Protein backbone atom coordinates (compact mmCIF):
# COMPACT_ATOMS: atom_id res chain seq x y z
CA UNK A 1 0.00 0.00 0.00
CA UNK A 2 2.74 2.46 1.06
CA UNK A 3 6.27 1.84 -0.17
CA UNK A 4 9.34 4.00 0.46
CA UNK A 5 12.31 3.19 -1.75
CA UNK A 6 15.71 4.56 -0.89
CA UNK A 7 14.28 7.85 0.41
CA UNK A 8 16.80 10.50 1.41
CA UNK A 9 16.30 14.07 2.57
CA UNK A 10 19.05 16.49 3.44
CA UNK A 11 18.75 20.02 4.80
CA UNK A 12 21.98 21.66 3.65
CA UNK A 13 24.69 19.43 5.11
CA UNK A 14 22.35 17.65 7.52
CA UNK A 15 21.24 14.18 6.37
CA UNK A 16 17.79 13.94 8.02
CA UNK A 17 16.84 10.77 6.06
CA UNK A 18 19.30 8.45 4.39
CA UNK A 19 18.30 5.59 2.07
CA UNK A 20 15.09 4.72 3.91
CA UNK A 21 13.20 1.61 2.75
CA UNK A 22 9.89 1.03 4.49
CA UNK A 23 6.52 -0.61 3.72
CA UNK A 24 3.08 -0.38 5.24
CA UNK A 25 0.61 -3.08 4.16
CA UNK A 26 -3.18 -2.58 4.33
CA UNK A 27 -4.73 -2.85 7.80
CA UNK A 28 -1.38 -3.13 9.54
CA UNK A 29 -0.19 -1.02 12.47
CA UNK A 30 3.46 -0.14 11.90
CA UNK A 31 5.53 1.65 14.52
CA UNK A 32 8.34 4.12 13.84
CA UNK A 33 10.66 4.72 16.79
CA UNK A 34 14.05 6.32 17.29
CA UNK A 35 15.90 8.85 19.42
CA UNK A 36 15.09 12.59 19.28
CA UNK A 37 16.17 14.13 15.98
CA UNK A 38 16.37 10.72 14.25
CA UNK A 39 14.20 11.95 11.33
CA UNK A 40 10.82 10.47 12.28
CA UNK A 41 8.74 13.62 11.72
CA UNK A 42 10.69 14.37 8.54
CA UNK A 43 9.69 10.91 7.26
CA UNK A 44 5.99 11.59 7.90
CA UNK A 45 6.31 15.07 6.37
CA UNK A 46 7.71 13.48 3.22
CA UNK A 47 4.91 10.90 2.99
CA UNK A 48 2.20 13.52 3.52
CA UNK A 49 3.70 15.95 0.99
CA UNK A 50 4.55 18.73 3.45
CA UNK A 51 8.18 18.11 2.50
CA UNK A 52 9.74 16.23 -0.42
CA UNK A 53 12.64 13.78 -0.63
CA UNK A 54 15.98 14.89 -2.04
CA UNK A 55 16.08 11.48 -3.75
CA UNK A 56 14.19 8.18 -3.73
CA UNK A 57 10.58 7.19 -4.36
CA UNK A 58 7.39 7.08 -2.31
CA UNK A 59 4.53 5.00 -3.75
CA UNK A 60 0.95 4.85 -2.51
CA UNK A 61 -1.15 2.13 -4.18
CA UNK A 62 1.63 1.88 -6.75
CA UNK A 63 1.45 5.57 -7.69
CA UNK A 64 4.44 7.85 -7.07
CA UNK A 65 3.42 10.58 -4.58
CA UNK A 66 6.79 12.08 -3.61
CA UNK A 67 6.31 15.16 -5.81
CA UNK A 68 2.61 15.71 -5.04
CA UNK A 69 1.09 18.53 -3.01
CA UNK A 70 -0.34 17.66 0.43
CA UNK A 71 -4.01 18.09 -0.57
CA UNK A 72 -3.62 15.64 -3.45
CA UNK A 73 -2.00 13.05 -1.19
CA UNK A 74 -4.80 13.59 1.33
CA UNK A 75 -7.36 13.06 -1.43
CA UNK A 76 -5.63 9.80 -2.40
CA UNK A 77 -6.40 8.52 1.12
CA UNK A 78 -3.54 9.53 3.43
CA UNK A 79 -4.30 11.50 6.62
CA UNK A 80 -2.03 12.60 9.45
CA UNK A 81 -1.81 14.14 12.88
CA UNK A 82 0.88 16.53 14.08
CA UNK A 83 3.44 16.29 16.87
CA UNK A 84 2.54 19.87 17.76
CA UNK A 85 -1.25 19.78 17.83
CA UNK A 86 -2.83 21.77 14.99
CA UNK A 87 -6.48 22.49 15.73
CA UNK A 88 -8.65 25.53 15.05
CA UNK A 89 -8.63 26.74 18.65
CA UNK A 90 -11.65 29.01 18.41
CA UNK A 91 -13.78 26.47 16.53
CA UNK A 92 -15.66 23.88 18.57
CA UNK A 93 -14.73 20.22 18.78
CA UNK A 94 -17.59 19.37 16.39
CA UNK A 95 -16.61 22.14 13.95
CA UNK A 96 -13.00 20.91 13.91
CA UNK A 97 -14.18 17.49 12.72
CA UNK A 98 -16.45 19.12 10.11
CA UNK A 99 -13.50 21.20 8.88
CA UNK A 100 -11.54 17.93 8.64
CA UNK A 101 -14.19 16.61 6.27
CA UNK A 102 -13.79 19.61 3.96
CA UNK A 103 -13.14 18.29 0.48
CA UNK A 104 -14.86 15.01 1.34
CA UNK A 105 -18.29 16.21 0.22
CA UNK A 106 -18.83 15.52 -3.46
CA UNK A 107 -21.31 18.32 -4.12
CA UNK A 108 -19.77 21.34 -5.84
CA UNK A 109 -21.32 24.78 -5.32
CA UNK A 110 -23.26 24.55 -8.59
CA UNK A 111 -24.53 21.09 -7.74
CA UNK A 112 -25.46 22.36 -4.32
CA UNK A 113 -27.73 25.00 -5.86
CA UNK A 114 -29.14 22.75 -8.60
CA UNK A 115 -29.73 19.77 -6.35
CA UNK A 116 -30.41 21.35 -2.98
CA UNK A 117 -32.15 18.29 -1.48
CA UNK A 118 -29.32 15.91 -2.35
CA UNK A 119 -26.81 18.46 -1.07
CA UNK A 120 -28.72 18.56 2.19
CA UNK A 121 -28.57 14.79 2.36
CA UNK A 122 -24.80 14.86 1.91
CA UNK A 123 -24.49 17.55 4.56
CA UNK A 124 -26.56 15.42 6.91
CA UNK A 125 -24.37 12.35 6.23
CA UNK A 126 -21.24 14.36 6.98
CA UNK A 127 -22.71 15.62 10.26
CA UNK A 128 -23.73 12.10 11.25
CA UNK A 129 -20.24 10.83 10.44
CA UNK A 130 -18.73 13.66 12.50
CA UNK A 131 -20.92 12.70 15.46
CA UNK A 132 -19.86 9.05 15.13
CA UNK A 133 -16.22 10.09 15.27
CA UNK A 134 -16.83 12.26 18.35
CA UNK A 135 -18.53 9.31 20.04
CA UNK A 136 -15.71 6.95 19.05
CA UNK A 137 -13.10 9.26 20.60
CA UNK A 138 -15.14 10.05 23.70
CA UNK A 139 -15.64 13.70 22.72
CA UNK A 140 -19.45 13.96 22.69
CA UNK A 141 -19.59 15.81 26.04
CA UNK A 142 -17.28 18.51 24.70
CA UNK A 143 -18.72 18.75 21.16
CA UNK A 144 -19.58 22.45 21.62
CA UNK A 145 -16.45 23.47 23.52
CA UNK A 146 -13.81 25.53 21.65
CA UNK A 147 -10.85 23.24 20.93
CA UNK A 148 -8.44 25.59 22.70
CA UNK A 149 -10.35 25.03 25.97
CA UNK A 150 -10.08 21.23 25.88
CA UNK A 151 -7.70 19.37 28.18
CA UNK A 152 -4.53 18.23 26.44
CA UNK A 153 -5.54 14.56 26.13
CA UNK A 154 -8.86 15.51 24.53
CA UNK A 155 -7.06 17.76 22.03
CA UNK A 156 -4.89 14.79 21.00
CA UNK A 157 -8.01 12.63 20.54
CA UNK A 158 -9.64 15.40 18.52
CA UNK A 159 -6.58 15.51 16.25
CA UNK A 160 -7.15 11.85 15.50
CA UNK A 161 -10.90 12.26 14.98
CA UNK A 162 -10.24 15.13 12.59
CA UNK A 163 -7.68 13.10 10.62
CA UNK A 164 -10.13 10.20 10.31
CA UNK A 165 -12.90 12.56 9.14
CA UNK A 166 -11.39 12.47 5.65
CA UNK A 167 -12.06 8.68 5.51
CA UNK A 168 -8.41 7.86 4.83
CA UNK A 169 -7.00 4.38 4.17
CA UNK A 170 -3.65 5.23 5.74
CA UNK A 171 -3.22 7.41 8.80
CA UNK A 172 0.13 8.79 9.98
CA UNK A 173 0.26 9.53 13.71
CA UNK A 174 3.11 11.70 15.05
CA UNK A 175 3.40 10.99 18.79
CA UNK A 176 -0.35 10.69 19.42
CA UNK A 177 0.07 10.13 23.17
CA UNK A 178 2.64 12.86 23.90
CA UNK A 179 1.64 14.54 27.17
CA UNK A 180 -0.95 11.90 28.08
CA UNK A 181 -0.96 10.00 31.39
CA UNK A 182 -0.63 6.18 31.37
CA UNK A 183 -4.37 5.48 31.51
CA UNK A 184 -5.12 7.98 28.69
CA UNK A 185 -2.28 6.40 26.68
CA UNK A 186 -3.70 2.91 27.14
CA UNK A 187 -7.20 4.08 26.12
CA UNK A 188 -5.81 5.74 23.00
CA UNK A 189 -3.97 2.50 22.24
CA UNK A 190 -7.31 0.72 22.22
CA UNK A 191 -8.63 3.32 19.74
CA UNK A 192 -5.60 2.73 17.48
CA UNK A 193 -6.22 -1.04 17.62
CA UNK A 194 -9.73 -0.48 16.23
CA UNK A 195 -8.44 1.27 13.10
CA UNK A 196 -7.37 -1.87 11.16
CA UNK A 197 -10.84 -3.31 11.77
CA UNK A 198 -12.20 -0.15 10.13
CA UNK A 199 -10.03 -0.89 7.08
CA UNK A 200 -7.17 1.49 7.90
CA UNK A 201 -3.43 1.07 7.91
CA UNK A 202 -1.47 3.03 10.54
CA UNK A 203 2.08 4.37 10.73
CA UNK A 204 2.65 5.59 14.27
CA UNK A 205 5.64 7.49 15.70
CA UNK A 206 5.83 6.89 19.42
CA UNK A 207 8.28 7.15 22.30
CA UNK A 208 6.11 5.16 24.72
CA UNK A 209 7.28 1.55 24.29
CA UNK A 210 4.28 0.16 26.16
CA UNK A 211 2.04 1.67 23.46
CA UNK A 212 4.28 0.24 20.72
CA UNK A 213 3.94 -3.22 22.29
CA UNK A 214 0.18 -2.74 22.71
CA UNK A 215 -0.64 -1.74 19.12
CA UNK A 216 2.14 -2.51 16.61
CA UNK A 217 2.40 -5.54 14.33
CA UNK A 218 5.90 -4.46 13.33
CA UNK A 219 8.34 -1.67 14.11
CA UNK A 220 11.02 0.25 12.22
CA UNK A 221 13.83 1.91 14.16
CA UNK A 222 15.31 5.11 12.77
CA UNK A 223 18.65 6.49 13.98
CA UNK A 224 20.45 9.47 12.38
CA UNK A 225 18.14 9.15 9.36
CA UNK A 226 18.80 5.46 8.76
CA UNK A 227 16.64 2.40 9.43
CA UNK A 228 18.78 0.35 11.80
CA UNK A 229 16.24 -2.36 12.67
CA UNK A 230 12.86 -3.76 11.59
CA UNK A 231 10.85 -6.52 13.23
CA UNK A 232 8.20 -7.28 15.82
CA UNK A 233 8.14 -5.04 18.92
CA UNK A 234 9.85 -7.79 20.94
CA UNK A 235 12.51 -8.35 18.26
CA UNK A 236 13.53 -4.68 18.09
CA UNK A 237 13.42 -4.32 21.89
CA UNK A 238 16.00 -7.10 22.25
CA UNK A 239 18.16 -6.01 19.29
CA UNK A 240 21.64 -4.96 20.55
CA UNK A 241 21.94 -2.39 17.73
CA UNK A 242 18.73 -0.72 18.92
CA UNK A 243 19.73 -0.81 22.58
CA UNK A 244 23.04 0.81 21.66
CA UNK A 245 21.31 3.55 19.62
CA UNK A 246 19.14 4.46 22.61
CA UNK A 247 21.67 4.09 25.39
CA UNK A 248 24.91 4.86 23.56
CA UNK A 249 28.02 2.68 23.71
CA UNK A 250 29.09 1.38 27.17
N1 LIG B 1 12.96 22.12 7.79
C2 LIG B 1 14.12 21.76 8.34
N3 LIG B 1 15.25 22.46 8.11
C4 LIG B 1 16.43 22.09 8.65
N5 LIG B 1 16.60 21.02 9.46
C6 LIG B 1 15.50 20.30 9.74
C7 LIG B 1 14.22 20.62 9.21
N8 LIG B 1 13.33 19.70 9.66
C9 LIG B 1 14.03 18.86 10.44
N10 LIG B 1 15.33 19.21 10.50
C11 LIG B 1 16.38 18.48 11.21
O12 LIG B 1 16.33 17.13 10.79
C13 LIG B 1 16.60 16.26 11.89
C14 LIG B 1 15.44 15.31 12.08
O15 LIG B 1 14.34 16.04 12.64
P16 LIG B 1 12.91 15.36 12.92
O17 LIG B 1 12.03 16.44 13.42
O18 LIG B 1 12.49 14.60 11.74
O19 LIG B 1 13.30 14.36 14.11
P20 LIG B 1 12.33 13.44 15.01
O21 LIG B 1 12.87 12.06 14.89
O22 LIG B 1 10.92 13.68 14.65
O23 LIG B 1 12.65 13.99 16.48
P24 LIG B 1 11.69 14.15 17.77
O25 LIG B 1 11.65 12.80 18.42
O26 LIG B 1 12.43 15.13 18.61
O27 LIG B 1 10.37 14.63 17.30
C28 LIG B 1 16.89 17.16 13.09
O29 LIG B 1 18.26 17.33 13.22
C30 LIG B 1 16.20 18.45 12.71
O31 LIG B 1 16.81 19.55 13.35
MG1 LIG C 1 9.32 14.41 15.65
For residue 122, being part of any structural domain is answered with yes
Q: Please tell me if the CB atom of residue 63 comes closer than 6 angstroms to any atom of ligand 1.
A: no
The pTM of this model reads 0.91
Q: Please tell me if the CB atom of residue 39 comes closer than 6 angstroms to any atom of ligand 1.
A: yes
> What's the 148 CA to ligand 1 centre distance in angstroms?
26
Question: Is the same domain home to 73 and 1?
Answer: yes
Question: Is the same domain home to 176 and 161?
Answer: no
Give 137-142's long-range contacts (Cβ < 8 A, gap of 24+).
Answer: 137/161, 137/191, 138/187, 139/93, 142/93
| Test site for ligand 1: of 7, 15, 16, 44, most ligand atoms within 8 A of the Cβ | 16
Pick the closest to residue 198 from 169, 165, 174 (CA basis): 169
Q: d(Cα 17, Cα 9) in Å, to the nearest integer?
A: 5
Q: What per-residue confidence (pLDDT) applies to 116?
A: 62
Ligand 1 atom 8, closest CA? 42
The parent domain of residue 25 ranges over 1-77+168-250
Question: Is the same domain home to 41 and 117?
Answer: no
Q: What per-residue confidence (pLDDT) applies to 106?
A: 46
Question: Is the same domain home to 140 and 185?
Answer: no
Q: d(Cα 175, Cα 159) in Å, to the nearest integer?
A: 11
Q: What per-residue confidence (pLDDT) applies to 250?
A: 47
> What's the 21 CA to ligand 1 centre distance in angstroms?
18
Total structural domains in the chain? 2
CB 161 within 8 A of CB 137: yes
Q: What per-residue confidence (pLDDT) applies to 166?
A: 86
CB 177 within 8 A of CB 33: no
For residue 205, being part of any structural domain is answered with yes
Question: Is the same domain home to 148 and 177?
Answer: no
Q: What per-residue confidence (pLDDT) applies to 246?
A: 82
Q: Please tell me if the CB atom of residue 83 comes closer than 6 angstroms to any atom of ligand 1.
A: yes
Q: Please tell me if the CB atom of residue 223 comes closer than 6 angstroms to any atom of ligand 1.
A: no
Question: Is the same domain home to 207 and 188?
Answer: yes
For residue 82, being part of any structural domain is answered with no
Q: What per-residue confidence (pLDDT) applies to 33?
A: 96
| Test site for ligand 1: of 13, 14, 209, 225, most ligand atoms within 8 A of the Cβ | 14
Question: Is the same domain home to 175 and 73?
Answer: yes
CB 160 within 8 A of CB 137: yes
Q: Please tell me if the CB atom of residue 46 comes closer than 6 angstroms to any atom of ligand 1.
A: no
* Closest ligand by atom to 82 CA: 2
Question: Is the same domain home to 38 and 140?
Answer: no
232 vs 185, 192, 204, CA distance in Å?
20, 17, 14
Q: Please tell me if the CB atom of residue 11 comes closer than 6 angstroms to any atom of ligand 1.
A: yes
Question: Is the same domain home to 160 and 102?
Answer: yes
Question: Is the same domain home to 214 and 144?
Answer: no
Q: What per-residue confidence (pLDDT) applies to 127?
A: 87
Residues in the chain where the model's pLDDT stays below 70: 102-121, 249-250
Find the angle CA(163)-CA(170)-CA(35) to the nearest 5 degrees: 85
For residue 249, being part of any structural domain is answered with yes
Q: d(Cα 85, Cα 147) in Å, to the nearest integer?
A: 11
Taking the CA of residue 225 as reference, the ligand 1 atom at the shortest distance is: 14
CB 232 within 8 A of CB 238: no
Q: What is the CATH number of the domain that holds 241?
A: 3.40.50.300
Q: What per-residue confidence (pLDDT) applies to 157?
A: 94
> What's the 116 CA to ligand 1 centre distance in angstroms?
47
Amino acid sequence: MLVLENVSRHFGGLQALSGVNLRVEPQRVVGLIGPNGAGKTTLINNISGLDHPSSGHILFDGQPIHRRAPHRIARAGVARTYQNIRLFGEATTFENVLIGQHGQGRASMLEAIAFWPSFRREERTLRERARELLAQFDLMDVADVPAANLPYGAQRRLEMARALATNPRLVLLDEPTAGMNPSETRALGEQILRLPQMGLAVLVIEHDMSLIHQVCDEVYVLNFGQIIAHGTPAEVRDDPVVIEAYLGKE
